[in-house]
Structure 1
Amino acid sequence: MKPVQTKSWLVAAALVAAAGGAHAQKAGDWVFGAGALLYAPQDKTTPLRFTSPVEREIPGSGASVKNATTLGLNLHYFITDNWAVEGVLGVPPRIKLDGAGTLAPLGQLGSARLYAPSVLGKYFFGSADDKFRFSAGLGLTYTKFGSVRLNDGLQNTLGGALGLPPGVSSTSAKIDSKLAPVLNVGFNYAFTKNLGMTFSVSYIPMKTKATLTTQVRGNTVAVSQTRVRLDPIVPFLYLTYKF
């Protein structure tokens, strides 16, 4: 091979190597992400049951938790070229609860604000220089429900089940906070040295309990409960920026 040709090949190889390195997610990198996060519960509830003053069930009662979309934010820190720690936080969406079974005619029963920060350990397959990388992760999320509101239809139904006329009683609700595992897979693509896009899907097996307290003039007259299996699937599509 002629010296000029040899030099040309060396230059081309250097350019390819530089282009590959430009897309690296390597040890020590911080990668910030922001995009659309969907909370899609695969829910199932038990019938609403009074636990005091006497135990009895509202036959055929049920509820369905609706999907919610919000702005998701996350941050990766790459410990090595393949291992990273990720923190995820969504702007808390308001989750709506619809009636099911004998409560279906009531429509929306209530709503709650969802707080669910997560921390995951993730493994990125392939080389740090690859533009396209697949990842898998495992972590924990702490799920808290705040600002719980119950609609008038459910309030009146609970009061009526106790033999009270509409408007006499008021009912408040509390949903238990839970620590749950997170299983995650993702596909990551680098457009430039710093900018990329990721699509990930998480699954969170989780059960919780809602406790409803009915009062008349500030005095508790009944307590009722339902258990909820949420098991949400959480797709997350977001742009990334590497520092």
Structure 2
Amino acid sequence: MHQAKNFARTALALLLAAGAAAANAQSSSWMDGRWMVSIGGAQIKPNVSSGALSAPSAPNTRIDVEADTQAVVSITRLLDDHWSIEVPIGAGFKHKIIGAGGIAGVGQIGSVRALPVTVFGQYRFLSPNDRIRPYVMGGLTYAYFQHERGSAALSALNPLNPVGGSTGLSIDSKLALSAGLGVTAFFTDKYFFDAQWARTFLKTKATLSTGQTIDAKLNPDLLKLSIGMRF
């Protein structure tokens, strides 16, 4: 958790520093406001490519991860007519881990709460006077995993599960690249709707409390719809 807090503080510090650096920049925009704050719903949908669980285990034991949707607040600083920095802020996403490959059909074998801390740089197309502006973006995401839990199904499948006990698991937190695109549509001079898609290229490792490990590319997609205000 300490690493996640440090990354979040760094992200906000970069956002504020960028805002200070651009405070005196001139713009041809129909508004002087350079801050945008929005709130909406975001879905994280992993695109899992799983390796096999190390021995001892059932043959071809693999995993999949289900999607989750939560509320997210986004803070954006417009640096000039085209460039901006965005930091999404949320409480985290809870994902079910389900069996795949040789154990497909066993259902949920675990759960995890993911807290992605992301800083996006964005380039906005067209004129700042336009009401609708598409953009592309890229950035860094620190995927912090916490509250990992193994299920009764995992304990039953694990040949090393202790008698009368249960199998726990942990997932490595990782830093990864993210890229995406979006569009902002202004209803008025202040209020807007924003739609955004991004993918994070994330690879991590899960370790059972009994020692077996499994590598997986999660590569989650983010789909975010929000409404907000510029000031």
Same fold by TM-score greater than 0.5: yes
Alignment counterpart, residue 222 of structure 2, candidates 224, 234, 237: 234
1:110 matched to 2:110? The reply is yes
What number of residue pairs does the alignment pair up?
Answer: 204
Q: Which residue of 2 aligns with 1:78?
A: 78
After TM superposition, the structure 1 = structure 2 runs for residues 24-173 of structure 1, keeping only pairs within 5 Å, are 24=30, 29-50=34-55, 56-158=56-158, 161-162=159-160, 167-173=163-169
Q: What's 1:178 paired with?
A: 174
Structure 1 residues not aligned, in runs of 5+: 1-20, 51-55, 215-222
Offset of residue 57 of structure 1:
4.6
Query: In 2, distance between residues paired with 1:175 and 1:113?
Result: 10
Cα pair 2:118 2:139 within 8 Å, conserved: yes
C-alpha distance in structure 2 between counterparts of 1:90 and 1:43, whole Å: 23
- One-letter code aligned to 2:53: L
Per the TM alignment, residue 25 of structure 1 is displaced from its structure 2 partner at its CA by: 5.8
Q: CA offsets, 1:58-107, max 9 Å, x none?
A: 31211111111111211110111211111112331211111112322421
Q: Is the 2:184–2:194 Cα contact (8 Å) retained in structure 1?
A: yes
Partner of 1:5: none
1:207-222 to 2 correspondences below 5 Å? 207-214=203-210
8 Å Cα contact 1:189-1:197 kept in structure 2 = yes
Deviation of 1:237 (Å): 0.7
Aligned residues of 1:172 and 1:213 also touching (Cα < 8 A): yes
Whether 2:201 is the aligned partner of 1:205: answer yes
Instruction: Confirm or deny: 8 A CA contact 2:34 2:78 kept in the other structure.
Output: yes
Given that residues 32 and 74 in structure 1 are in contact (C-alpha distance below 8 angstroms), is that contact kept between their aligned partners in structure 2? yes
Percent of pairs with identical residues: 29
- In 2, Cα distance between equivalents of 1:32 and 1:208: 32
What is the TM-score of this pair, normalised by structure 1?
0.79
Residue 18 (structure 1) aligns with = none
Amino acid at match of 1:185: L
User: Pairwise CA RMSD of aligned residues?
Assistant: 1.8
- 2:31 touches 2:189 (CA, 8 Å); kept in 1? no
Instruction: Give every structure 1 segment of 4 or more consecutive aligned residues whose post-TM-superposition deviation is greater than 4 Å.
Output: none
Letter in 2 for 1:239: I
Q: How far did 1:156 drift?
A: 2.1
